[in-house]
Structure 1
């Protein structure tokens, strides 16, 4: 019985291209006024400025701010990884996220089913909370973890297992919803249901071998939950109920 869902953020709650493409475009001139160097940084970030799109190999998709900063620093003389990561986190917290679907109605529906809700992102926790607040969602989440929250980052299962532990649930009672292989591998490592969505960069053919189901977006979750056999359907226990 699925009693809880833990969501990735970027590419899952929020449309990846429309949200983070604008962030990259704003970041590049802040890092350097040199147009040639901006082109190099854009390539390092796996971002095609002409198309306004990310390559599947982009470190922005699943990397942490620290990992992204590490990839940029060799091209920014005098810049330090920690300083750059801090600047990127500050900018990310103010980045305008574009919802993949109308979010609050969906999460109210999921909560009404008795589901516990968590967030596990390779973004930092502060920007994650800011993005949830900006879309009137934070009060609907029981758990929020970034890569810097003390549980590690995906594809390691630490964030997911911490959520299950906080909810007093067995991992098999939790579904992980995400848009990348990192998310699906983290779910597999945690022993959770693997629910992929297509609002990130990865295509269905890439995700299907690693997922239990591939949905077009998180708005399809209620219908998918309804399609499960009764023993696997969304939990009927009230919010905060313990596993039996």
Structure 2
């Protein structure tokens, strides 16, 4: 492991990056749309919303029914979180190795506070993430830089000394808007083409590749 990490501060996206919540999110959306609208939604479009504000996506899909969809989503999501949330291979170990190397860790997510904290607890990362910026922490969401800058402020970090790691194009756009480096991972919700179009500094397909990007060759 490199003795000097590439960036002293790493801010992570949550869904699809640190924690495997994609199946839970897609199933929650489909339950909500079926319950309220009587039909499922295109899964590719649902996956494209992941990383953005939940209620914002629902208002785009059905402005007049958004609140009902949100209520159906959240109740089903809460009931099924423990069953469907999973770890990504190698990611927990990488996060702990970053901390051991002196890297300060934060999370900036569009997820609401309680489910974000619950997801971190379920995969055993809540004790190594001192900073969690969630949906209600800021008044604008990705691709706005505000969530990322709020995380940096809490870490006492500068954008030029920090990197944002995420699985979606919106994450890379937010990183650019915040003046941070952006590193993309491909195991989440983002499509390869969308990620490439967002021009990340580095794209990683495995936790080992992400380790090399953040800590250097092992």
TM bin (shorter chain): 0.7 to 0.9
Q: Provide Cα deviations, 1:63-87, integer angstroms capped at 9, x if missing partner.
A: 3221233245457xxx5x4454355
Range that drifts further, 55-64 or 203-212? 55-64
Aligned to 2:93: 105
Aligned to 1:89: 74
Aligned to 1:196: 184
Larger Rg, first or second structure (1 or 2)? 1
TM-score if structure 2 supplies the norm length?
0.81
Tell me the CA shift for residue 199 of structure 1. Answer: 1.2
Contact kept? 1:100, 1:217, Cα under 8 Å: no
Q: CA RMSD in A?
A: 2.6
Q: Provide Cα deviations, 1:130-165, integer angstroms capped at 9, x if missing partner.
A: 111111111110211222222521110111111111
Instruction: Count the aligned residue pairs.
Output: 208
Tell me the CA shift for residue 11 of structure 1. Answer: 1.6
Task: Report the 3-state secondary structure (helix = DSSP H, G, I; strand = E; otherwise coil) of the residue aligned with 1:200.
Answer: coil
TM-score if structure 1 supplies the norm length?
0.73
Q: Does 1:144 align with 2:149?
A: no
Aligned to 1:65: 54
Contact kept? 2:185, 2:206, Cα under 8 Å: yes
Change (3 A) 1:225 1:102: closer
Question: Structure 1 stretches of 5 or more lacking a match?
Answer: 48-54, 229-244
